């Protein structure tokens, strides 16, 4: 069995990444395709509507540091004053089972994953402008003004890391941005290394039908 592909999606907060990921998983479910979202650990408090185990594994600082010490994370980083990390074991198990895995992580995490797994597919989502990002952060109403200012200040330094990514999506129109993300995923799945098992089964049918 060929192993799955590891996808990394990064974006400054408010660039619309969560919507893109949701739409992609809706489509994946409709197609019966096999991709899982990697649920990160974080020390951040849950926001309204967030569910432990679905959106994040919400843990305290001590638990997080124990996981770091036990080398339990493929990557981890401090983002906006909270700790976030990707479970190494969960990701590796899925990839080995032939399942694609999507990581929603920041630029520091992406750098660590790419150093360990250079074959990961890295995608950066950009807002179309500074003003668009500011408007989205304000409109979604998740954060207070001071938090929004802090997030905007971090955004520029995150955007400047775009060179470490293979693909860039400018999220001006969510339909077009979703189509671009889907196209990248589909393209990866059609590489010969991923299609070999399928080709073999087609050839086997030929072998059994055509007299030698």
Structure-token pair, residue 162: 């775009």
Q: Which of 36, 77, 126, 181 binds ligand 5GP (CB under 6 A)?
A: 77
Q: Can residue 86 be called a binding residue for ligand 5GP (CB under 6 A)? A: yes
- Per DSSP, 2 falls in state P
Q: How far is the CB of 17 from ligand 5GP (least distance, A)?
A: 7
209 Cβ contact partners less than 8 Å away, ≥ 6 residues apart: none
Q: Can residue 85 be called a binding residue for ligand 5GP (CB under 6 A)? A: yes
181 Cβ contact partners less than 8 Å away, ≥ 6 residues apart: 9, 20, 24, 123, 169
Q: Which residue lies nearer to ligand 5GP by CB, 154 or 194?
A: 154
Q: Can residue 181 be called a binding residue for ligand 5GP (CB under 6 A)? A: no
Structure-token pair, residue 21: 């990921």
CA angle 44–104–143, rounded 5-degree value: 40
Q: Can residue 75 be called a binding residue for ligand 5GP (CB under 6 A)? A: yes
Q: Can residue 64 be called a binding residue for ligand 5GP (CB under 6 A)? A: no
Q: Which residue lies nearer to ligand 5GP by CB, 109 or 127?
A: 109
Q: Can residue 43 be called a binding residue for ligand 5GP (CB under 6 A)? A: no
**Environment class of 55 (CB within 10 Å of its CB; exposed 0-12, middle 13-18, buried 19+):** middle
Give the interface segment with ligand 5GP, choosing from 29-37, 80-88, 89-97, 160-168 (CB under 6 A).
80-88
Give the interface segment with ligand 5GP, choosing from 105-113, 124-132, 178-186, 201-209 (CB under 6 A).
105-113
- Other Cβ atoms less than 10 A from the Cβ of 5: the count is 21
**Environment class of 187 (CB within 10 Å of its CB; exposed 0-12, middle 13-18, buried 19+):** exposed
Q: Can residue 109 be called a binding residue for ligand 5GP (CB under 6 A)? A: yes
Q: Which residue lies nearer to ligand 5GP by CB, 44 or 189?
A: 44
**Which residue ranges make up the site for ligand 5GP (CB under 6 A)?**
13, 40, 44, 75, 77, 79-80, 84-86, 104-106, 108-109
């Amino acid at each position: 069995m060929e192993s799955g592909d590891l996808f990394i999606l990064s974006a400054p907060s408010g660039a619309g990444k969560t919507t893109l990921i949701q739409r992609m998983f809706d489509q994946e479910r409709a197609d019966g395709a096999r991709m899982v979202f990697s649920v990160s650990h974080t020390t951040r408090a849950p926001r309204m509507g967030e569910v432990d185990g679905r959106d994040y594994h919400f843990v305290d600082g001590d638990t997080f540091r124990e996981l770091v010490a036990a080398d339990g994370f493929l990557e981890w980083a401090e983002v906006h004053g909270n700790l976030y990390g990707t479970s190494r074991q969960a990701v590796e198990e899925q990839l080995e089972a032939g399942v694609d895995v999507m990581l929603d992580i920041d630029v520091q995490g992406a750098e660590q994953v790419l150093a360990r797994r250079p074959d990961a597919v890295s995608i950066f989502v950009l807002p179309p402008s500074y003003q668009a990002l500011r408007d989205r952060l304000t409109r979604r109403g998740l954060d207070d003004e001071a938090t929004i200012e802090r997030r905007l200040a971090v955004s520029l330094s995150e955007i400047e890391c775009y060179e470490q990514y293979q693909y860039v999506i400018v999220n001006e129109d969510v339909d077009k941005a979703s189509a671009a993300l889907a196209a990248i995923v589909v393209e990866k799945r059609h590489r010969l290394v991923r299609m070999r098992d399928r080709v073999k089964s087609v050839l086997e049918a030929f072998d059994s039908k055509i007299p030698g």
